[in-house]
A and B are shown apart, each in its own frame.
Chain A
Amino acid sequence: MMTITAHPTTTRPAYTPARAMKKIVILGATSGIALEVQRQLAHQGRELLLVARSPQRLAEIQADLAIRGARQILTYSADLASVQQHAGIFEFVQRAFADFDTVLLAYGSMHDQKDSETSVDVLLEELTVNFVSATAILTLFASDLEQRRTGCLAAITSVAGDRGRRSNYVYGSAKGALSLFLQGLRSRLHPAGVRVITIKPGPVRTPMTDHLANSARFGDPEQVARDIVRALERRSPDVLYTPKIWRYIMGAVQQIPENIFKRLSF
């Protein structure tokens, strides 16, 4: 099941023009952004398979999305941060939702940066959840889609991964590494016609960011979800900044010389 095939040597047109997105797997279905994405997909009458830790919360979302119009909703309760549980998740997907065409990885964790500076355990947990476990589960799905030569893999990273900052570099480095991983994966899957989308939201008002200063001014999760759903339906872009302004902000931030950047405290 986990055979990782060599690159296919044949090539074909990379993307089909109108993506037939019907069956979507969501990893981290109880995260703030995923909740909004799921609502919009339900409204479109899609079929969903939701993976998250709490069976109780999954049941609540399942009821809600069914009433809002989702055609079919399956749930699977597992801890995505634990790589040992991935095989079980993937087996369930293959059994119950084998012809899925889209995967959205939406989970992540953001500890207080200070905690990861003083505790190696917190540091490792942050890297494991945001990078190690994410790459592990994406690899399972990538190989399956590559064999079937169809579909789309999308993962939510962060603008924090575009540059290491004093106040948030542990979360940022994990998300930045995930962005690099996706970049490579995109190139690998391109010949098979499998699309890989790197989603880089700016700060969004979700439970993950409630503890940050100014969180009331963060982006609206509904708007971010709209951008994500649109990106999933279309052929482009490869990298989605949302809200869009963050493409330009990060473009500018990346131009600041390191010698100056290291003195900035944000």
Chain B
Amino acid sequence: MSGQSAAKLRKQSGVPPPTERILSWGRYPKIAHQRVHKPAWNDQVPEIFNAAAPGALLPYGLGRSYGDSCLNAGRELIDCRRLNRILDFDASTGMIRCESGVSLSDIIDVFLPKGWFLPVTPGTRFVTVGGAIANDVHGKNHHCAGTFGAHVRQIGLHRSNDGLVICSSRENPDMLGATIGGLGLTGVIAWADIQLKRVSGPWIDAESIPFQSLSAFLDLSRESNDRFEYTVAWLDCFAGKNPRGIFFRGNHSPSHGAEFHPKRGPKLPFALPAWMLNRYSVKAFNTVYYKIHAASKGVAVVPYDSFFYPLDSIRQWNLLYGRQGFLQYQCVIPDTNLGAFEELLDRIARSGMGSFLGVLKQFGSAPAAGMLSFPRPGLTIALDFAMRGERTLKLLQSLDEIVQQSGGALYPAKDARMSPALFEASFPHWRSFVPYIDPKMSSSFWRRVTGAQ
């Protein structure tokens, strides 16, 4: 096709491209963008930079960040989803080079049949490689593998002033450290080299164990972290200081073969009415969920997708929370401050506003891969709260106090409302990150927590 001359003409005729509604996963805040660029090739990115005003741009992937870290209110986005080519694969080492819009789902589909898996995977496979790096995502194996960024060996980064900058542990290592966890602010990732992990197949030897208190969870966690590659827990947040939950742990199954047939799950077609999620329906759900898992406790061989991505089986599950959307709250609190963690759970339980998706994990002590990486030693919990206006925001503010006093941190990828003070407390070194920000980049999140223009 003659795309280039058509594009030129489009510019001359001055037809403004239409804006489309782009929301983050929490569907809050609802804001408008002035323009969404959709480069299909890396060679088109410099043109977009050249035409942009300072602070105008932010790369966007599959929009799985929950709050406003992937949004750029009133400004422009670079939708990277068409930059989705895998450029290189070394079958002997498992090193791949791929463009930033390749999804983790795509990587699994292509490489799992060849015996390779993601070194680290978050709870959804529908994120891009660019997003996984920009948020330095973590997974159930944080205690032994660290974050996604720890497995990124080299990146090519489009910068508005310097063109394509190669960043690795040898070349521009500080720019690599800034880009990992850098919330897309350091430039547009053209491609990244990622070290995949050898696995024997698509099956997981999984075990689920019910527990009835926080200390029981910690015992399970300590006991399991040496022997199991993956550990995580689901928590009933209505139970308060002594929560009940289910501890999940697993390893790649060495003996179950490679045969596997993925299924496509149902899809939530529209936003459910807000009244359907209330403390009674959620309590009932949690009780049933606990009882089912407690009854079926024990060891089983399960397919990787139901182990890693239970929620991906319902596409667009975020519509559960109705039109107003929801907020996810993910914090980490140091191991040494269990009292603060109990206090946090108690406040959530008393509010009656928690939801079913309470996820609990003990982070390992791996050094952070990026300057603004979120994971650090301690207990992390992630919880959803349906957005009900002021009272939801008030509750989360009261949780913020506990996090801040305990020396904990909040996760930017999940946030739409933390205060500048809490951001400062969570990332005390953020000012040393500022020089690495590309002058053409900004985000709603960044302006909100740092006061940048």
The reply to whether A109 and B15 contact each other, CB–CB distance below 8 Å, is: no
A35 and B20 CA atoms in complex are apart in Å by 23
The reply to whether A57 and B6 contact each other, CB–CB distance below 8 Å, is: no
B17 lies within 8 A of chain A by Cβ? yes
The reply to whether A215 and B2 contact each other, CB–CB distance below 8 Å, is: no
Shortest CB-to-CB span from A63 to chain B, Å, is 5
The reply to whether B17 and A125 contact each other, CB–CB distance below 8 Å, is: no
Q: Which of A95-125 contact B (CB under 8 A)?
A: 107-112, 114-115, 122, 125
A192 lies within 8 A of chain B by Cβ? no
The reply to whether A207 and B40 contact each other, CB–CB distance below 8 Å, is: yes
The reply to whether A57 and B5 contact each other, CB–CB distance below 8 Å, is: no
B85 lies within 8 A of chain A by Cβ? yes
A109 and B8 CA atoms in complex are apart in Å by 12
Shortest CB-to-CB span from A262 to chain B, Å, is 25
The reply to whether B110 and A111 contact each other, CB–CB distance below 8 Å, is: no
Shortest CB-to-CB span from B198 to chain A, Å, is 17
**Cβ–Cβ < 8 Å partners of A31 in chain B:** 1, 3
The reply to whether A112 and B18 contact each other, CB–CB distance below 8 Å, is: no
Shortest CB-to-CB span from B38 to chain A, Å, is 6
A216 lies within 8 A of chain B by Cβ? yes
The reply to whether B85 and A63 contact each other, CB–CB distance below 8 Å, is: yes
- Contact bitstring B2-43, A, C-beta under 8 A = 1, else 0: 110110011001010110110000000000000000101111
Given the known interface contacts A68-B86, A111-B9, A208-B6, the answer about A213 and B1 at a Cβ–Cβ threshold of 8 Å is no
The reply to whether B41 and A208 contact each other, CB–CB distance below 8 Å, is: no
The reply to whether A57 and B41 contact each other, CB–CB distance below 8 Å, is: yes
**Cβ–Cβ < 8 Å partners of A108 in chain B:** 1
**Cβ–Cβ < 8 Å partners of B2 in chain A:** 81, 107, 109, 125, 129
In the complex, which of the residues A115, A207, A216 contacts B13, with contact meaning CB atoms closer than 8 Å? A115
Shortest CB-to-CB span from B30 to chain A, Å, is 16
A5 lies within 8 A of chain B by Cβ? no
**Cβ–Cβ < 8 Å partners of B6 in chain A:** 109-111, 208
In the complex, which of the residues A114, A115, A208 contacts B3, with contact meaning CB atoms closer than 8 Å? A208
**Cβ–Cβ < 8 Å partners of A91 in chain B:** none
The reply to whether B18 and A61 contact each other, CB–CB distance below 8 Å, is: no
Residue of chain B at shortest CB distance from A129 = B2
A122 and B8 CA atoms in complex are apart in Å by 12
B197 lies within 8 A of chain A by Cβ? no
Given the known interface contacts A60-B87, A125-B2, the answer about A32 and B40 at a Cβ–Cβ threshold of 8 Å is yes
B427 lies within 8 A of chain A by Cβ? no
A4 and B271 CA atoms in complex are apart in Å by 60
The reply to whether A64 and B87 contact each other, CB–CB distance below 8 Å, is: yes
A225 and B110 CA atoms in complex are apart in Å by 19
The reply to whether A63 and B88 contact each other, CB–CB distance below 8 Å, is: yes
B82 lies within 8 A of chain A by Cβ? yes
The reply to whether B87 and A28 contact each other, CB–CB distance below 8 Å, is: no
The reply to whether A114 and B13 contact each other, CB–CB distance below 8 Å, is: yes
Can you offer 6 A-B residue contacts whose CB atoms are under 8 A? A30-B1, A54-B41, A57-B41, A110-B6, A129-B1, A215-B20
